[in-house]
Structure 1
Amino acid sequence: MADDVIETRTQTTQMTMIQAINSALDVMMERDPDVVVMGEDVGFFGGVFRATAGLQQKYGKNRVFDTPITECGIIGVAVGMGAYGLRPVPEIQFADYIYPALDQLVSEAARLRYRSAGEFIAPMTVRSPFGGGIFGGQTHSQSPEGIFTHVSGVKTVIPSTPYDAKGLLIAAIEDNDPVIFFEPKRIYNGPFDGHYDTPARSWAGHPEAQVPAGYYRIELGKARIVRPGEALTILCYGTMVHVVENTVAKLGIDAEIVDLRTLVPLDIKAIEGSVRKTGRCLIVHEATRTSGFGAELSALVQERCFYHLEAPVERVTGFDTPYPHSLEWAYFPGPVRIREAITKIMKD
């Protein structure tokens, strides 16, 4: 497979993130007959966001099939399929619904390779829309990535562009360990700059929406430098990449924006290199602050870059409250809070 590993933009087609995810599934199902797609409404209906549209018609009901509304059952079956030799790609309709499946993910999928001394593996990729920004309320807006980064044996991937979504999903499906693939639904159909009162943007014309139609993969554990800079490092992922990018552009600050792409494995080398260069670090994510992944990033920067820091590490995150439907835009880290954090860190 090593000879096939490419990251290229030749012969590209403009895609939304939904289309890129669908394309990744199509490519992998055509290449590998062991890849199967399963979940609530993923078959005839094509998924609640249409990420699996057309796949059942193309590959049949034995490879793309609907399941009962039982997340524990979906993941439990996927673990068994993986141990048997298949490569299941189960969809959890919203990340908020993944909690009933935690026991199967944490106690079975994550530990199977270790418990069996390598005799069995769980090569499964759990896809799920996550995060806020669509007025989904408390049960359709959570960002639970920090839970899974705590679990040894599970990889956690979060794309921020159509190009990354396809390349990372292909790499995840090919991986021999369980991967949680969280898809920021706020940017499914276009990037989000954080200004909630402006019309929704489209991926049309965006360079990261030019996606190869065929096979390519992006190695898990490799961050992307969205924008090089010398004055400040900003670590972010998912929807926040676009909010940060827009805020930095309007401020005119020479900030380096690092899109982590994968939280586990984490590109520590890229983080350390950037912070040592700039001497300042801001972390932005929409999950709650306490025990959010930003806390781990802050500790990592402190441990590895302490003597290079010119100011304390700052975080802009969601608040430590249940996700508020009516106050969604106040909860969601936006340009105002990011700008305030940048101003503070640059004064120190």
Structure 2
Amino acid sequence: MEALAAVAREPHAEFTLEPITIEGPRAGEVLVQIEAVGICHTDLAARDGALPTALPAVLGHEGCGVVRAVGDGVTKVAPGDRVAITFNSCGTCPSCTAGQPSYCHQFMHLAYDGVREDGSGPITTPTGEPLTGLFFGQSSFATYSLAFERNVVKVPDDVPAELLAPLGCGIQTGAGAVMRSLNCRPDSSVLIAGAGSVGLAAVMGAVIQGCTTIIAVEPHESRRNLALTLGATHVIDPTAGPLAEQVRAIVPSGVDYAIDTSGVPAVIESLIASMTFHGKVGLIGVPADPAASVPLNIISSLSMGITITGIIEGDSVPDEFIPQLVELYKAGRFPLDKLVTTFPFAKINDAIDAQHRGEVLKPVLVQD
């Protein structure tokens, strides 16, 4: 069938709106008419060559829309169902069978290679030029997306699509880091580096967990103010002095938990220096330099019992966690609408520019 897509053709170049031809669903696949799709840093990293996705490609991995067709064997959803689309997973590796699909042993292949198990791809231009599709199992920068039964989640019709779409990656990652990966206990203290959409989702998750000291670190004053609105008890401007000193002025013994969304080694080093005994540090942010490292004082880490863990997709089991976040939003406990700014799908490049300028937190493209 014919569709319209935002195609990434060159690194660091604007997306181009182009007609595409997309195959109908094969066994286990689901064709979704996209209503809205979030823009995530990972999309831009793939476009710009930081991830192993071959260009030209149709990216996008926070889609929400309506199922229009299903392939053989699909029973979880049916045509007419509304779904959020999230990351794909194989379902058979040790991580998947243990209920940890975000650590699927095939994650890199399923997210970035853009091919089915037989090596075929579902997207071409009308002239037959192959385009890399199936990005994160969806390639939802388009009017239609081909996804898989495993990475679609039924969602209600009474929540706007632009709020459901970001749950597929960024929002579930931030909230899940607090609610699942670290499982922050009530009455604890948590330090969150970065008040973008992922960090602010973590702030909201910390409120839900009952954390009593929630510290957001962010250089932009407007984002610090929003963090306070969303439940942070304290905010820190990292330019105002050494981070660890500012943290310990609030919590002299150090914090129980810390989450990094920046990927900046110096920030991570400061988080480690801000921990109390048996503290846990969760790493979400991807560094600009793939070879980046953080110096670690082994004696100090051993004596304090500090844990440092990587976090992928907030340790989410999407069929469980996305509906949980939706219900929390409907109950007024997870105000993700405060993070989202919508743009028409055709304005994708304007949306990216606005995000780079710091004018919006979470741009979401909506289809006409």
Using the size of structure 2 for normalisation, the TM-score is 0.27
- TM-score, length-scaled by structure 1: 0.28
- Whichever structure has more helix as a proportion of its residues is 1
